[in-house]
Structure 1
Amino acid sequence: MNGRVWVLLGLFYTLLLVFVGRLWQLQVLQYEQYATKSQGNYLRTETTLAPRGRILDRNGQVIATNRLAVDLLYLGGEVYLKDRLLALTGLKELPKVVREPVELMTNVPEALVPTLAELSAVEPSLKLQERIERVYPNPISGPVVGYTALPNQEQLEEGYAPEELVGVAGLEAALEGHLKGIKGVVLAEVNARGQRVRFQELREPQPGSDVYLTIDLTLQRVAERALEEAVADINRIRQRNGLPLVRQAKGAIVALDPRNGEILAMATSPSFDPNLFGRRPRPNDKIRELFSDPDRPTLNRAVNAYPPGSTYKLVSSSLALESGYVTPNTTFRCSPYIVYGGIRRNWARYDMGMMTVKEAIAQSCNTWYYQMALLDPVGMVDKLHKRALELGLGRPAGLEIGEQTGIVPSLQWKRQNFPKDPRWWPGETLSIVIGQGYNKATPVQIARMLATIAQNGQQPELHLVRRIGDQEVRRPVASVSGRYWKELQEGLRKTVTEGTARHVLGEFPVATAGKTGTAQNETLTPGLEHAWYMGYGPTDPADPRPPLVVVAFFENGGEGSGVALPAARKVMAAYWRVGTAPEAR
């Protein structure tokens, strides 16, 4: 018996020794290894989204900003206080099949958040989730400011978080590198449901930079309203020509400071409210309707290229003077038409007499420019091309957003684009000198050209951004050679005092200058021409008012003097606080 007891005791103590040894190994020798592994079961690293930088106008009025939104998610499974949940959310029933979290309520009202937080704390199937939402308290034209959306697969692979907002169009996309913040990092302790119990912030999120635009929100509103009100003028012309009426104008207005190229207003129509893209749940039916609209409300017509019509005559006038084709005193008869190559090219109903280049600008006399072109119909083409580029056409104006370059034809351009008919025909020169034919320019390019003329060859690079954070944005001003700026300015002034703009701006309280334009397009239908007006002022050196350049354009608007000119006048009146516009700069 004693031997058996000792054997059992030996076995017992041996097992106890093994147990103690194993415990010592786990608790002492391998403590750090298992402690780290244990922590990994309830500690995880998370990212916190950084607020997107705000977009403000030049005076600090907020155009785009952020708000913290809270959504209630249903993760699937049983909800013990189901009746209370349905009463709080206004739902009739919960989803029966849930494969991924379902949003039961988006943008939970602030007063309801504490109640739902208390409910979700005891309901494993419910979760409150915070997110940053982009809002536009003072939206400007949608194609200009743009909008944001959740990242696509490619952007997720680049490092964007699934709930992080990305600029998709307009300024939101162009300024993404500045508006996008840097995500924060948090070490979070979570419970079995994956909810945070405690957390430690390892790196604070860094908000994106605030961007101050050159836009003046008050003047922007005036320009947008002028586009809306132009519908009445467009329909008046359409009625006269027996054409169907329109419900909205298609066009753009650009206003800028010619001294530094700051865009004070950039309005485009039709437009859209960028808040449409920030809503939850997203109204996909309205968004599809927006992108399928034949009037293309997502198109920024201020940076889209169109036939420039008679606004291009300033290029032709400048080239004619600078190259010596004419002098300031050279005259041609402004006849009702000319016949060239067997084609009758009409202009007016009566003979307007002999004109210099100044009167030709003021009266927009096509036949004057036809006769000038016939002095050197082929040799002039490349010279026109070069002068147009110098004045700012056919190349980007410098904006932060994307813009079309337009078309300034040359002999080489014709050969490259028309291999079956590469020869330049003299009759084509007669078309391009009046802004028809192959020419295309954007409203912002026309505005920069006019600013260059108004500033005696000082050409600003146009821009929409004034300041990023605390950093001022400065753009260069180039110098364009020329000896005849005064003659061009006088011709533009005569347009207002005795020419095609006299009926609208002749008695305007501020002395201005400008040029109307009515550009034929592919429709060739009277009443569907593109309507242009470009103007600037004050032209009186003693006038203390700040200078302004305005370009108004209407796609298929009908007449420059009947549609674009009145719209431009409204912007001028608001900026200088004169006339019938009470809005102030």
Structure 2
Amino acid sequence: GRWERISGVLGLESVPSEATTLFNITETQQLALMELTADLDNLEVRSRTERFYPAGVAAHLIGYVGLADEGDVIRGRPKGSEAGRAGLEAALDDTLWGAAGELLLEVDARGHAVGARELRSPVPGEDLLLTIDSDLQRACEQALAGLRGACVALDPRNGAVLALASAPTFDPNLFTRQPVAPQVVGYLTDPAQPLLNRAVQSFDSGSVFKPVTALAALDTGTITTRSQFMAPTAFRIGNRLFHNWATENMGPFNLEQAIAWSANTWFYQVSIPLGGRPIIEWAQQLGLGERTGLGLEEERRGRLPDPDEVATWRAGDVANLAIGQGPMLATPIQIANMLATIVNDGTMYRPHLVRQVGDSPVPTEVVRTLRAQPEFFQALRNGMRRAVTEGTARRLKRFSEQVATVAGKTGTAQTVGGDSHAWFMSFAPFERPEIVVVAFVQNGGQGSEVALPVARQVLSQYFLGDPNAWQNLRR
């Protein structure tokens, strides 16, 4: 009979005994159905709008949508529509959606529509213009290919996020299809967690935290910019030896040199008279331990110990804290915003992803202004500049000499039961900074060997228009 033929057109094994919804029928199937069902009331072919992400980048920050669930319907979303499930799609769901209209249908005894009356007009959603530079975003993602990590690029002059990448990544288009693509199950079970936005997750920070300790020591008068200490291979605190990364004694170093060479034992010595409380208080001032307010629901706050608790710590625990180890975590976006604040002599802008909502520009927001002497921030920046010219970030020296003067700080964070995390934070040009780049590689090893090359590709894209152009620089 006819229903058997309809089932055959749709690829069904038997005639459905209850209401059945089929998605994504082909044009050929649709034409055949129209011919077979012209006089039927119990079969309807409808078109549906499906979200499509054409650029192939920024999956984590844009997010994805899924079919509206019961909770979405309760708050007014029509059944069968789409709702944001991650990223900006979720955070700004109501802004993007607008408001549904309401239509009153009049039907006859057979259920045929004979009239309609609009009770409430629909309100279209707003368009969003992002701060993201798509070429820079793509460069970040390409630089992270095959790794687990994140890359953030900020404009320190206003907090605009130029790129925010996480790896591994995923295809958000798979979530919009109905039925949901089988690859989605793979995303959910993959041990590499491709759906996790590592740019806003908390990790051990390691040596990129050292400028916090330096600023606390300067502000309290524990040291001056001219104070010098040796940086031996090991430093004894109590009955324990705390080691430097270098296998030879170094120094004497002033603050700039200690940052340039990331000398652990130099910072251990500073931490003893300094104590833990000022370090935590300055970490808080620099935005650690709190969400940046970036606008993503997935953003974590990191972790900082309570200042009162730290005040009771033993000297060895404070020494670990001074180099970014111990019970503290930070997110890549926090580290980027911290560095931008140092670049700005203590003015902290709110990082933001949205430049404009509809026709309305999003205003730049100053979160706070830190009260510290400008020369303190300058000393930190000088130390990071020297890291590139003579210290642990010398891999960027050629780029810095021939393209744009770069300053940066490497970081290698020890983890429990795994390889170290690799960090690199940088800004350029040194004289008038216009970009901050932070690269993070989870369990990647040495920051100078793994994270720095990621940032170098991003800087190459920004200043040369090609992530690999740095390779053509003269040796």
TM-score, normalising length: structure 2: 0.91
Superposition pairs for residues 44-443 of structure 1, below 5 Å? 79=2, 83=5, 85=6, 89=9, 91=11, 93=12, 95-103=14-22, 106-109=23-26, 113=30, 116-190=33-107, 194-196=111-113, 199-228=116-145, 248-283=146-181, 285-347=182-244, 348-376=246-274, 380-402=275-297, 403-413=299-309, 423-443=312-332
In the alignment, the residues of structure 1 paired with residue 399 and residue 21 of structure 2 have an alpha-carbon distance, to the nearest angstrom, of 64
SS in 2 for 1:571: helix
Contact 1:252–1:268, Cα closer than 8 Å, also in 2: yes
SS in 2 for 1:265: strand
In the alignment, the residues of structure 1 paired with residue 227 and residue 310 of structure 2 have an alpha-carbon distance, to the nearest angstrom, of 31
SS in 1 for 2:453: helix
In the alignment, the residues of structure 2 paired with residue 209 and residue 530 of structure 1 have an alpha-carbon distance, to the nearest angstrom, of 40
In the alignment, the residues of structure 2 paired with residue 397 and residue 320 of structure 1 have an alpha-carbon distance, to the nearest angstrom, of 25
SS in 2 for 1:459: strand
In the alignment, the residues of structure 2 paired with residue 580 and residue 272 of structure 1 have an alpha-carbon distance, to the nearest angstrom, of 22
In the alignment, the residues of structure 1 paired with residue 49 and residue 309 of structure 2 have an alpha-carbon distance, to the nearest angstrom, of 50
| Superimposed CA distance per residue, residues 247-302 of structure 1 (whole angstroms, 9 cap, x where no aligned partner) | x311000001001101110000112111111112222x432221122211111111
Match of 1:538 in 2: 429
Which residue identity lines up with residue 487 of structure 1 in the other structure? A
CA RMSD after TM alignment = 2.3
| Superimposed CA distance per residue, residues 194-226 of structure 1 (whole angstroms, 9 cap, x where no aligned partner) | 454554444442221111111111111111111
Please state if 1:482 is matched with 2:369: no
Please state if 1:510 is matched with 2:404: yes
Shift of 1:313: 0.3
In the alignment, the residues of structure 1 paired with residue 414 and residue 238 of structure 2 have an alpha-carbon distance, to the nearest angstrom, of 21
Match of 2:392 in 1: 500
How many positions carry a matched residue from both structures?
Answer: 463
In the alignment, the residues of structure 2 paired with residue 195 and residue 269 of structure 1 have an alpha-carbon distance, to the nearest angstrom, of 52
Give 2:362's match in structure 1, choosing from 473, 482, 496.
Answer: 473
Determine what percentage of the aligned residue pairs are the same residue: 39
Shift of 1:366: 0.3
Contact 1:262–1:462, Cα closer than 8 Å, also in 2: yes
SS in 2 for 1:187: strand
Query: More deviation in 189-198 or 454-463?
Result: 189-198
Structure 1 residues 192 and 279: alpha-carbon distance in aligned structure 2, compared to 1, 3 A threshold: farther
SS in 2 for 1:99: coil
In the alignment, the residues of structure 2 paired with residue 192 and residue 114 of structure 1 have an alpha-carbon distance, to the nearest angstrom, of 29
SS in 1 for 2:50: strand
SS in 2 for 1:132: coil
Match of 2:437 in 1: 550
Contact 1:381–1:410, Cα closer than 8 Å, also in 2: no
In the alignment, the residues of structure 1 paired with residue 444 and residue 231 of structure 2 have an alpha-carbon distance, to the nearest angstrom, of 26
Contact 1:120–1:128, Cα closer than 8 Å, also in 2: no
Unaligned runs of 5+ in 2: 471-475
Which residue identity lines up with residue 369 of structure 2 in the other structure? S
| Superimposed CA distance per residue, residues 49-82 of structure 1 (whole angstroms, 9 cap, x where no aligned partner) | xxxxxxxxxxxxxxxxxxxxxxxxxxxxx636x5
Q: Which has the larger radius of gyration?
A: 1
In the alignment, the residues of structure 1 paired with residue 32 and residue 469 of structure 2 have an alpha-carbon distance, to the nearest angstrom, of 49
Unaligned runs of 5+ in 1: 1-77, 229-247, 416-422
Contact 1:496–1:506, Cα closer than 8 Å, also in 2: no
In the alignment, the residues of structure 1 paired with residue 157 and residue 261 of structure 2 have an alpha-carbon distance, to the nearest angstrom, of 28
In the alignment, the residues of structure 2 paired with residue 148 and residue 204 of structure 1 have an alpha-carbon distance, to the nearest angstrom, of 24
Structure 1 residues 174 and 139: alpha-carbon distance in aligned structure 2, compared to 1, 3 A threshold: farther
Contact 1:141–1:272, Cα closer than 8 Å, also in 2: no
Match of 1:43 in 2: none
In the alignment, the residues of structure 2 paired with residue 267 and residue 424 of structure 1 have an alpha-carbon distance, to the nearest angstrom, of 37
In the alignment, the residues of structure 2 paired with residue 317 and residue 195 of structure 1 have an alpha-carbon distance, to the nearest angstrom, of 76
| Superimposed CA distance per residue, residues 435-491 of structure 1 (whole angstroms, 9 cap, x where no aligned partner) | 011121110110011001111112111111111111111131232111111111110
Give 2:461's match in structure 1, choosing from 569, 574, 577.
Answer: 574
In the alignment, the residues of structure 2 paired with residue 464 and residue 153 of structure 1 have an alpha-carbon distance, to the nearest angstrom, of 29
Shift of 1:123: 3.1
Structure 1 residues 332 and 251: alpha-carbon distance in aligned structure 2, compared to 1, 3 A threshold: same
SS in 2 for 1:534: strand
In the alignment, the residues of structure 2 paired with residue 199 and residue 95 of structure 1 have an alpha-carbon distance, to the nearest angstrom, of 36
Contact 1:131–1:163, Cα closer than 8 Å, also in 2: no
| Superimposed CA distance per residue, residues 35-56 of structure 1 (whole angstroms, 9 cap, x where no aligned partner) | xxxxxxxxxxxxxxxxxxxxxx
